[in-house]
Structure 1
Amino acid sequence: MMSNKTATVADRLTTAAKAKQQMLERFRARPKADDPEMLAKQAERMAIAEARDARNAERRAAKEAEAERLAAEKAAEAERRRIQAAEEAAAAEEAAKHAAALPALQKAARDARYAARQARRR
């Protein structure tokens, strides 16, 4: 290709006209929209797009199912922890009741021994 510095205005105009003519010829040479080959390519593209959409829908459904499963697991774990905490609280309450009642039981046992000893002396 010639350099613009050496080309004249007429040469540049001729080159531009040739380029436009080549672009026009390429445009006219392309297949029409109702060409069977173009219709086949369009159908193939549509089939590929539909398959891609189906795969995306399957992935989305799998992700939603996984999210639901994880949510169910978290809920079950939370319920298990709640039950365990309730059992521990009940056990602690029972231990506290026993600890509170222990001095009274010990006093009653001591009083019973004292009474038995006094009864033996009499």
Structure 2
Amino acid sequence: MTDRLSDKAAAKQELLRKLQARPGADDPAVIARAAERKAIAEARVARAAEKAAAEERARIETAAREAAEQAEREREAERAEQERIDREAALEEAKKRARDERYAARKAAKR
């Protein structure tokens, strides 16, 4: 039983010794590690901000490209509609000329 108690006391003393041997907050190594962690955190924030800005630029470029494509499709649709209207007008004009020629031919045949 005394062996267990002495082992327990020795382990407790060893743990206390380790904790007391730990460097304090004013130790240069601790300060350097804290500064390094702070620099890493700041770099992480900067990368996140840069990534967000890049994503925003990509969204803006995509929206602009889609708007330009939509405008081009609308212009193409208007051009196609105008061509269709012009073809119909030309067809109607050709039909009218043919009808007028037939009418003139009938009139000439009656004389």
Q: TM-score, normalised by structure 2?
A: 0.80
1:76 aligns with 2:68: yes
Deviations 1:58-105 (A, max 9, x none): 122112111211111111111111111111112112222333343222
Aligned residue for 1:31, secondary structure, equals coil
Alignment match of 2:95 (pick from 82, 100, 103) = 103
The structure with more helix, counted as a fraction of residues: 2
2:9 alignment counterpart? 17
Alignment match of 1:87 (pick from 79, 85, 99) = 79
1:33 alignment counterpart? 25
| Corresponding pairs, count | 111
1:66 aligns with 2:58: yes
Report the CA distance between 1:41 and its aligned residue: 1.6
Change (3 A) 1:10 1:91: farther
Distance 1:13 1:102 in 2: 118
Aligned residue for 1:38, secondary structure, equals helix
Percent identity of equivalent pairs: 38
- When the two chains are superposed, the root-mean-square deviation of aligned CA atoms in Å is 2.2
1:32 maps to amino acid: G
1:112 aligns with 2:108: no
Distance 1:57 1:32 in 2: 35
**Residue ranges of structure 1 left out of the alignment (5+ in a row):** 1-8
Q: Which stretch shifts more, 99-108 or 85-94?
A: 99-108
Change (3 A) 1:38 1:90: same
**Residue ranges of structure 2 left out of the alignment (5+ in a row):** none
